[in-house]
Amino acid sequence: MSTCATVSRDLDEPISGTAATATTWLLLEQPGPWGAKALTSSHLDPALGRALETAATDTGVRIALIRRPGRHADPAPSRVRQVYAAHTVPGNAWLHSATTTDPRDLLGLDFAALGAGDPHSFGSALGGRAHTGDPLALVCTNGKRDRCCALLGRPLAAELAASGVDGAWEVTHLGGHRFSPTVLVLPYGYAYGRVGAHTVKEILQGVQEGRVVVEGCRGGSAWERPGQAAELAVRTATREYATDALSVVRTDGGAPRWEVTVAHTDGRHWRVIVAQGASLPPRPESCGASVLGAPARMDVVAVRELATALSN
């Protein structure tokens, strides 16, 4: 059976620079079935889902629903739900957790502050505190958005959970279903595609060691797509894998060509030229697409270390 994921893999479509963008992820446990637009088409009150979407608009916060891998029978109505917030910007990456019996509590959050990296309202509104458990591996499994996420994501999530990965969750949407199975790792916010359980375990081990695995990496969600590609290119060129070592500090230009400045915490800087191309030949961008498309791709043209550090 040909799917958007098998076609993308067969055509060796580049994966770098394809991650969803969010400085902060807000995750709410919602058991049971999910629709294509899960915040308003699940057993979560759709009015609450719309209110949360509105509250998060233009704040840098991306909201997603999560559930434990397994059968998705309807839960008891009074179930305690897990909530996570994770900020992904290097130098201030954090993951906080909380529980609630009333998802409306999330409306008490200061979304602008969360997007900027301030977790205080997560504590005051939800009693949240720093997460002390394992890093999270969020596997996209929402077959209502694309069947590849269910066909490839659900078995991966189940395998991770069965093998003892405590941080394994199913998630509603990470974008790029043609790269299924897709995984987001928190707190650092790096997304991965076309991964198996063994690779995910290596990635999670890297997170615990403060190290980024670049193989199969789609990019860090803290950056826009050109920045994602540029940062990964510098990591590959310099073999610098420490999670907080690099930051995208400047992006000049616009589609189809950007000059991205990547900085190291030791003062070094690189200028990276990123060009937007089209993935050819045309292919299905999702299994539900009625026409073939040529998805945008981020091609790194040049990586050059600058002679002196830039001034602000």
Query: Tens digits of per-residue pLDDT, 94-152?
Result: 999 999 999 999 999 999 999 999 999 999 999 999 999 999 999 988 766 556 667 77
pTM beyond cutoff 0.85: yes
Q: How many CB atoms lie within 10 A of CB 256?
A: 12
Angle between helices 197-208 and 154-162 (to 10 degrees): 60
Structure-token match 């915040």, residue found? 39
Q: Using one digit for the tens of pLDDT, what is the confidence trace for 165-182?
A: 999 999 998 877 678 789
Q: How many CB atoms lie within 10 A of CB 251?
A: 18
Note the pLDDT of residue 143.
61
Tokens of 31: 């058991």
289 has a pLDDT exceeding 70? no
pLDDT-derived band at 1 (thresholds 50, 70, 90) equals low
Tokens of 188: 């650092």
Classify strands 168-171 and 136-140 as parallel, antiparallel or unpaired: parallel
Q: What gap in Å lies between CA 264 and CA 267, rounded to an integer? A: 5
75 has a pLDDT exceeding 70? no
